[in-house]
Copies of this chain bind each other. A is one copy, B any other.
């Protein structure tokens, strides 16, 4: 029996979608490409996918909805899109806080120090004319000119180019321009002299896609664009997405298509901005963490998230754009940078490439803060890498009023030590809607500095201030009272939120600690600390040090290097040397499995304290606290 059809009308998207009666709203929206915030991927855990369901025969509230929605909210027809099933036509309003907003996508990073030396060259060829006496094939005329004018032998031709060659050589003049990849393959032939070669650097982040369109003749960036990874409708983190694939294999292709669609939209966007034909894009480089890497390639990520967490392949790959479905020249080469391990991916390789960790003298710590943070320690002699499962706190998940760094997210907080008055700044200076990762670090660091929380992370509920109160989840600190918020709700940091952040920062610190131990060095031996990733750009390094996110080191040695993943991808795009070094990095780096280190459990527990149980390790924080702490 065919199931009953119902019609759903989504506002403010204005989309009408037909669905089967009994389907969940989030599933319907996902298929229709309508974005509803969901940090847990529809598992009823995060409670972020709140929608208002009007005029509907919806099922009774589920356990998850009763947990996440107050009685008052239920009366106002709030439901969780992941849990509410529709049984009749209805209208669904997606409130602002569930729509994600315009996310700040940082696509800029440090400029990696590589000379322009791309894989593509343009060679103008004057071809001889075939005659009955000398009936040279089209290909041989091209080969003749390549050898005669450039001494280039043993060149092959891409099959798609071969197919168009006969007409191409006869509709123009006698001069054509061959586009040669690595001096070994003809990947395009154009009429006349034509030098325009373009390339794409692509960073597939779990949350964000970043892209740069680059003029390969100059190395100049013509357009930088970014968007939310469309895969987020399947779940915010890689574990959730991988688990979807494990449950239902077909999800792999759905996930691949989702990210591909996003990338192809960004390509359109880049080309429009720069006035470049997408068919002139002859090369792309792609980075991403290992799960993103596998999904983009259509490789099942199942074994990446199961012990012993091994990738299918770590080597760099060169594939044709047509094999992957990228909307650039069908013959373009797509260079996928190598990965290191299941949780240290091509993005980490790109991070290292961007700061050229493999060539510098100074002993450096490179930290990419995130749900799955990566930490690299080393220099030209040796590099160690570790992955830290920091959990979602830095991304705003599992945090009561956590959100991503989109419009209205509180990103900066200062607390007046005597009055506990809070001053804050939001993304785009809009009304506060929640707190993003850097805001949470600020908040906790300030609460610690001002004595609102103690070194163990406990909120001092004995302090006399209206900002501290007992909430449903224990003590909480009101950052913004409801009179200042549009939603009419107090925005607070709860005891549970602080615990989540402690877990996250402890993981990052322990990762760095274990690497230093393995390398036989201590914090004082570090010459540099690089904080990478878009998130890193917004971290206040003083505050981060205050909570013990990284080892105690003079702050002038600490620098934010921005989106090094994309910067590394761009380096590999414009420089064959960078590509060689990326492969070298992947070979060279020793991956350390953090949880199997015997010191890990003890060190992790000690690192939970603010800034650390052994305050001697954080002498500068100790000094800072002594000078500013009052309570």
User: Interface of A with B (CB < 8 Å)?
Assistant: 130-133, 135-140, 157, 159, 162-163, 165-167, 170, 297-300, 302-303, 307-315, 317, 319, 323, 341-342, 591, 593, 596
Task: Check if B319 sits within 8 Å of A132, measured CB to CB.
Answer: no
Q: Which of A131, A310, A315 has the most CB of B within 10 A?
A: A310
The distance from the CB of A151 to the nearest CB of chain B, in whole angstroms, is: 19
* Alpha-carbon gap, A138 to B303, bound state (A): 10
Residues of B with C-beta under 8 A to A307: 132
Docked CA distance A134–B331 (Å): 38
Q: Which residue on chain B has the smallest CB distance to residue A131?
A: B308
* 20 new A-B contacts at CB < 8 Å, known A132-B307, A135-B310: A130-B310, A132-B308, A132-B309, A132-B593, A133-B596, A135-B309, A136-B310, A137-B311, A137-B313, A139-B312, A140-B313, A159-B297, A162-B312, A163-B297, A165-B299, A165-B312, A166-B302, A167-B300, A167-B302, A170-B303
Inter-chain contact A130/B299, CB cutoff 8 Å: no
Picked from B137, B297, B298, B308, the residue with its CB within 8 Å of the CB of A312 is: B137
A299: which of B166, B302, B313 is its contact (CB, 8 Å)?
B166
A307 to B131, CA, bound (A): 8
CA separation between A140 and B339, bound complex, in Å?
A: 12
The count of identical subunits is 2
Q: Which residues of B contact A593 (CB under 8 A)?
A: 132-133, 135
User: Smallest distance from the beta carbon of A524 to chain B beta carbons, Å?
Assistant: 30
A-B residue pairs in contact (CB < 8 Å), sample of 11: A130-B308, A133-B593, A133-B596, A137-B312, A137-B314, A138-B303, A138-B312, A138-B313, A139-B313, A166-B303, A166-B312
Contacts of A313 in B (CB 8 A): 137-140, 157, 162, 165
Q: Which residues of chain B are near A342, meaning CB under 8 Å?
A: 135
Known contacts A159-B323, A302-B166; is A314 also within 8 Å of B132 by CB?
A: no
Q: Chain B residues near A300 (CB, 8 Å)?
A: 166-167
Most buried by B among A162, A341, A591: A162
In the complex, what distance in Å separates the CA atom of A313 from the CA atom of B303? Answer: 45
Least CB separation from A318: chain B residue: B156
Task: Give the top 10 A-B pairs by smallest Cβ distance, nearest first.
Answer: A139-B313, A132-B308, A135-B308, A137-B311, A138-B312, A130-B310, A166-B312, A135-B310, A137-B314, A130-B308
Complex: how many Å from CA A133 to CA B590?
11
Task: Please name the residue on chain B nearest to A134 by beta carbon.
Answer: B308
Question: Nearest CB to that of A249 among chain B residues?
Answer: B167
Q: Is B319's CB under 8 angstroms from A159's CB?
A: yes
Chain B nearest CB from A369 CB (Å) reads 23
| Complex Cα spacing A419 to B167, Å | 61
Q: Are B139 and A314 in contact (CB under 8 A)?
A: yes
A299 touches B137 (CB 8 A): no
Docked pose: A400 CA to B474 CA in angstroms: 103
How close is A387's CB to chain B, nearest CB, in angstroms? 11
Give the most central of A140, A159, A167, A596: most B CB within 10 Å: A159
Which residues on B sit within 8 Å (CB–CB) of A596? Answer: 132-133
Q: Known: A130-B308, A314-B140. Contact between A341 and B298, CB under 8 A?
A: no
Which chain B residue has the least Cβ–Cβ distance from A290? B137
CB of A296 to closest CB in B, whole Å? 12
State the Cβ distance, A254 to closest chain B Cβ, in Å: 16
User: Quick check: A163 and B132 within 8 Å, CB to CB?
Assistant: no
Q: CB-nearest residue of chain B relative to A593?
A: B132
A299 touches B133 (CB 8 A): no
Q: Measured between C-beta atoms, what is the minimum distance from A601 to chain B in Å?
A: 15
For residue A587, give the distance in angstroms from its CB to the closest CB of chain B: 11
CB-based nearest B residue for A311: B137
Inter-chain CA distance A395–B437, complex, in Å, is 80
Cα distance A299–B165 in the bound complex, in angstroms: 8
* B-side contacts of A309, CB under 8 Å: 132, 135
